[in-house]
Structure 1
Amino acid sequence: MTQFRPCIDLHQGRVKQIVGGTLADADNSAVENHVADHPPTWFAKKYAGDKLTGGHVIKLGPGNDEAATAALAAYPGGLQIGGGITSSNAKHWLDAGASHVIVTSWLFDQAGQILEDRLAQLVTAIGKSRIVIDLSCRRTSDDDKHPTWHVASDRWQTITSLEITQSNLNWLSEFADEFLIHAADVEGLCGGVDQQLVAELGKWGGLPMTYAGGVAAMEDVQFIDQASQSKLDVTVGSALDLFGGQGIRYDELVDWNRETNRS
């Protein structure tokens, strides 16, 4: 069954919820939905106490290393880490307590072409079982009958040449343990999920995958579970009461996980 996976998004050292695609080079450019009063360690300890696994800490730009390190130390082995990950620093973050590293932009050149040799470097450095490839994407076709999505790198500003297809998922699965996929066009808007993307991902069912983007209510979580044939897990951000949202209660999702684990 679809599981809820928690998140800790870090921007300028604080836990925030940001509208996807508004992060540019200037740190003050992001549209912020919520800035938490609690430090990242508070969230990490809460997730640990509620036995939520497979969540992720994402460093959105510079100035987040100290906060990320503290979060990982508060829940060792319970959280993945993403943001600026390379083959050179991946082991450092695993040693700091991350269960996996999440990698995206480092895998692409400036023209948006994927660098297969870097995939191999990362596997050599830490092993396939500790790698999550972030395939966060944007819709690149207006044809609703034949939609396409391409991976977006560099804070979702650069559309790469890598299309989300079953053949590409098969190929990339040789280098990873999981995939993380934000629908960047709807991320942070609380306007509903990209239903076509969810359905397409659900047709694959190779590695574990976590979907994020647009979840506004429990009905969206139920849709993801049904439309993906329970093959996708889900992250909820701006709609969650834990982050100032009004669409979904955190306790509902904790209960959802408990119920699905029993079934």
Structure 2
Amino acid sequence: MRVESLGSTLGSEFGTVFHSSSSIFGTKKIDGYRRSATFRFRRVPISCAVRFRPCIDIHKGKVKQIVGSTLSDSKEDGPALVTNFESDKSAGEYAKMYKEDGLPGGHVIMLGADPLSRAAAIEALHAYPGGLQVGGGINSDNSLQYIEEGASHVIVTSYVFNNGQMDLERLKDLVRVVGKERLVLDLSCRKREGKYAIVTDRWQKFSDVYLDKKILDFLAKYADEFLVHGVDVEGKKLGIDEELVELLGKHSPIPVTYAGGVTVMADLERIKVAGLGHVDVSVGSALDVFGGNLPYEEVVAWHTQQEALTV
């Protein structure tokens, strides 16, 4: 089916709000988040507060932070693979932390189809049943298994955007199996010729589907949420792709989470403003729990502050 023929809209409600608790990683709990002089941005409507969506990336059974654009489809990752961090904590421990800190809607991504990665993902789902989405090798045959293991949603990219084309029959099949309300479409993209093209197969292959209002409206008929990594900046801690966030905030008719390039607390506010308060945010390599410098507890406190704005 050609993208040019697409066009429709469908709204969706945003999720509920939760509270914040303490971390298993020994960092001191912060009771509140103080806005510094750094955050002097125009105000966003109170009804449009955003959420922090945590992540657990699993590679060969271990929780890692990898520069996604360096992954390959080969069974043995080559020398080009860039690993920012490998944790001595299990996926289940991270999931337990997110549960204790009241952070629903995070994603578990299997960066490979090996049994160790699948086992680690299931461990995380069991530790936080109903609180995590799962992606990586999901198709209509195995999607329901992950829901039964405790995933709130399954996340799909390559199965639907196959060989550079959108396979509408596969998408409809997934909806029949798990339901629209349990499906997240990963629309991670890279810029090509000035437009954002959805990329598949570990972000190595460009599809002929480009993000714009028409495609977002159409895909919203089949999904509960979108997840979008800005692949050009993901894992590189170079700052966010503000243009992409603006596009998502303006045109996505359903909840959408952006990931990629967050480095400092100011980036969270930039996403809030650029996304018009409609774009949730995921942070990976920059967090101290993943070897970075950005305090996880400060991000949790920021998340709690955003929730308070909706009361």
- Residue matched to 2:54: 6
The TM-score normalised by the length of structure 1 is: 0.96
**Conserved in 1, the CA contact under 8 Å of 2:184 and 2:223?**
yes
The residue number in structure 1 matching 2:170 is 118
- Higher relative contact order by CA 8 Å / sep ≥ 6: 1 or 2? 2
The residue matched to 2:71 in structure 1 has which SS? Answer: coil
| Match among 117, 127, 136 for residue 179 of structure 2 | 127
- 1:187: which partner in 2? 234
Could you give the per-residue CA deviations for residues 27-56 of structure 1, whole angstroms, max 9, x where no partner exists? Answer: 433210000010111100000000001000
Q: Contact 2:73–2:201 (CA<8 Å) still a contact in 1?
A: no
1:136–1:152: 8 Å Cα contact kept in structure 2? yes
Whether the 8 Å contact between 2:217 and 2:252 is mirrored in structure 1 is no
Aligned to 1:140: 192
AA aligned to 1:12 is K
Deviations 1:94-120 (Å, cap 9, x if unpaired)?
00000000000011232x011000111
Q: Which structure 1 residue ranges, 4+ long, deviate > 3 Å from structure 2? A: none
1:216 counterpart SS class:
coil
Instruction: Structure 1: state its 5+ residue gaps.
Output: 142-146
Please name the residue that 1:35 is paired with: 86
Measure, in 1, the Cα distance between the counterparts of 2:162 and 2:248: 25
Distance in 2, Cα, partners of 1:39 & 1:92: 21
**Aligned 8 A contact 2:61 2:120 in 1:** yes
Q: Does 1:47 pair with 2:98?
A: yes
Equivalent residue number for residue 262 of structure 1: 308
Q: Which runs of 5+ in 2 are unaligned?
A: 1-48
User: Is the CA contact (8 Å cut-off) linking 1:4 and 1:234 kept in structure 2?
Assistant: yes
What residue in structure 2 maps to residue 153 of structure 1? 200
Q: Partner of 1:228 in structure 2?
A: 275
TM-score by length of 2: 0.81
Matches within 5 A, 1:201-212: 201-212=248-259
Whether the 8 Å CA contact 2:92–2:123 is kept in 1: the answer is yes
1:251 aligns with 2:304: no
Kept in 1: contact 2:216–2:252 (CA 8 A): no
- Percent of residue pairs identical: 48
Which is higher, the Rg of structure 1 or of structure 2? 2
Deviates more, 1:87-96 or 1:195-204: 195-204
- Amino acid corresponding to residue 92 of structure 1 in structure 2: Q
Secondary structure at 1:21's aligned position in 2?
A: helix
The correspondence for 1:85, drawn from 134, 138, 146, is: 138
Q: CA deviation at 1:128?
A: 0.3
Q: Cα deviations across residues 116-148 of structure 1 (Å, max 9, x unaligned)?
A: 00111011111100000000000012xxxxx31
Q: 66, 72, 84: which one pairs with 1:24?
A: 72
1:25 and 1:170 map into 2 onto residues whose CA distance is 31
